[in-house]
């Protein structure tokens, strides 16, 4: 089972996203941070992060996924996608169809304190204006975020 935490933020006309993948024991397997030059609402930004996560999971052949977000409205929208008649709900149903590739998939809410690595990396991507994939051999800055999360 691979657990993926993700975060997104909007600043000006850029949307920043970040995801961190961990195994069942909590070890970091890798992740991705980056941005797109589009202004959007936060739910749409976090949905963009879900789409990026799908690509990362498929490219790594991870078939059992648990996705965690600190955005309760997005998780509720996903879990009630069949009843949501908004544009957001329609797009969520489109994303859900892409999850047929996986053997197991779950999207659940995580308190902000449990999403601190993803949150800090999203801020780091915004500060450095960068797009970066990383695996287990990640940068010192990422290592510091992971250590602070493990200690707290």
How do residues 61-117 score in pLDDT, each as one tens digit?
888 888 888 888 888 877 777 777 778 778 878 877 777 778 888 888 877 666 666
Query: Rounded CA gap, 88 and 96, in Å?
Result: 12
Between helices 72-79 and 87-97, what is the axis angle to 10°? 70
Domains of the chain in sequence order: 2-151 (3.30.420.10)
Confidence of residue 140 (pLDDT cuts 50, 70, 90): low
pLDDT at 129: 76
And the tokens for 109?
């809410």
Query: Rounded CA gap, 46 and 115, in Å?
Result: 13
Beta bridge partners of residue 17, listed in sequence order: 8, 34
Confidence of residue 144 (pLDDT cuts 50, 70, 90): low
pLDDT at 122: 67
> Is residue 65 within 8 Å of residue 104, measured between CB atoms?
yes
pLDDT at 143: 63
What does 69-94 look like in DSSP terms, one character per residue?
Answer: ES-HHHHHHHHTTTT--SHHHHHHHH
Closest CA to 144 of 111, 126, 123: 123
How do residues 19-70 score in pLDDT, each as one tens digit?
888 888 877 787 788 888 888 888 888 888 888 778 888 888 888 888 888 8
pLDDT at 10: 83
């Amino acid at each position: 089972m691979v657990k993926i935490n993700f975060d997104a933020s909007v600043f000006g006309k850029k949307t920043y996203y970040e995801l961190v993948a961990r195994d069942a024991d909590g070890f970091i397997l890798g992740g991705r941070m980056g941005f797109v030059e589009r202004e959007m609402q936060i739910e749409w930004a976090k949905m963009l992060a879900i789409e990026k996560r799908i690509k990362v999971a498929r490219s790594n052949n991870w078939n059992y996924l648990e996705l965690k977000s600190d955005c309760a409205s997005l998780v509720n929208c996903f879990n009630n996608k069949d009843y949501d008649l908004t544009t957001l709900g329609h797009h969520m149903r489109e994303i859900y169809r892409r999850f047929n590739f996986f053997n197991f998939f779950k999207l659940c809410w995580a308190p902000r304190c449990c999403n601190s690595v993803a949150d800090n990396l999203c801020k780091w991507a915004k500060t450095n204006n960068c797009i970066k994939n990383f695996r287990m051999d990640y940068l010192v800055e990422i290592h510091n975020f992971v250590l602070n999360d493990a200690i707290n």
